[in-house]
């Protein structure tokens, strides 16, 4: 649980920092390069593809701290899944037993005897659930933390890529002069054609 809390805090800090710890990704020239590298992907910018993922992949190539965070998070989530499997394997045997026991009880023809052993099986099942409550409570808490970590990873991905695309928008914006020049040329050509029409 301490590990999970640590990574949640780490992800939050990283998210709100906007990757401030990375000198490479803070450099406007690198932000432009990141977007342009992502744009080299044939699918980048297409409506059917995820441009956020393209940008994030490019940022990962330049940010070791972010790579480490992703790697350790993936490792921790894998460890959590393995831990849950230990309980699932243990729990399955008891749950499966009670299901089978109930079928045997249902096969008893004498209703009074059947009720007696149905109560016996039910009592044992309830006792078992009480025995494992400490584990199920922790597992439930862990699952909530995993959901939180997954949400934070999405937020981290969005804030990181948003910073990159906004830097690109500011630093790679085309010079207005070339558009003004083209506008003037078009206006001249427009006037030239209109004069021919009037004649």
Q: At a CB cut-off of 8 Å and minimum separation 6, what does 25 contact?
A: 19, 31, 34, 59, 62, 63, 160, 163, 164
Q: How many CB atoms lie under 10 A from the CB of residue 182?
A: 10
Query: Where is pLDDT greater, at 195 or 46?
Result: 195
Helices (H), the chain: 2-17, 23-26, 28-39, 51-62, 64-106, 111-131, 133-171, 176-198
Answer whether 132's CB lies under 8 Å from 91's CB: yes
**Domain boundaries, given as residue ranges, for the chain:** 2-91+142-198
Total-model pTM: 0.71
Q: What is the pLDDT of residues 51-107, one digit of tens each?
A: 899 899 999 998 999 999 999 999 999 999 999 999 999 999 999 999 999 999 999
Round to whole Å and give the CA distance between 89 and 85.
6
Residues 108/110/114/116 CA torsion (nearest 10 deg) = -140
Q: Coil, strand or helix: which one is 97? A: helix
Kindly report the CA angle at 21 between 80 and 172, in degrees rounded to 5? 115
Q: What is the pLDDT of residues 55-66, one digit of tens each?
A: 999 999 989 999
């Amino acid at each position: 649980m301490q590990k999970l809390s640590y990574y949640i805090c780490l992800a939050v800090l990283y998210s709100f920092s906007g990757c401030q710890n990375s000198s490479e990704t803070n450099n406007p020239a690198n932000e432009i390069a990141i977007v342009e590298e992502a744009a080299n992907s044939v699918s980048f910018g297409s409506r059917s593809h995820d441009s956020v993922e393209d940008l994030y992949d490019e940022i990962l190539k330049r940010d070791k701290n972010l790579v480490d965070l992703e790697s350790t998070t993936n490792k921790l989530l894998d460890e959590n899944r393995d831990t849950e499997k230990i309980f699932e394997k243990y729990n399955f045997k008891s749950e499966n037993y009670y299901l089978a026991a109930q079928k045997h009880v249902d096969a008893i023809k004498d209703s009074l005897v059947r009720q007696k052993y149905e109560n016996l099986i039910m009592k044992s099942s309830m006792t078992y659930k009480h025995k494992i409550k400490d584990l199920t409570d922790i597992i439930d808490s862990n699952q909530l933390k995993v959901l939180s970590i997954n949400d934070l990873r999405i937020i981290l991905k969005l804030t990181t890529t948003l910073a990159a695309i906004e830097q690109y928008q500011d630093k790679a914006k085309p010079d207005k002069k070339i558009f003004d020049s083209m506008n003037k040329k078009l206006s001249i050509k427009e006037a030239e054609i209109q004069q021919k029409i009037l004649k």
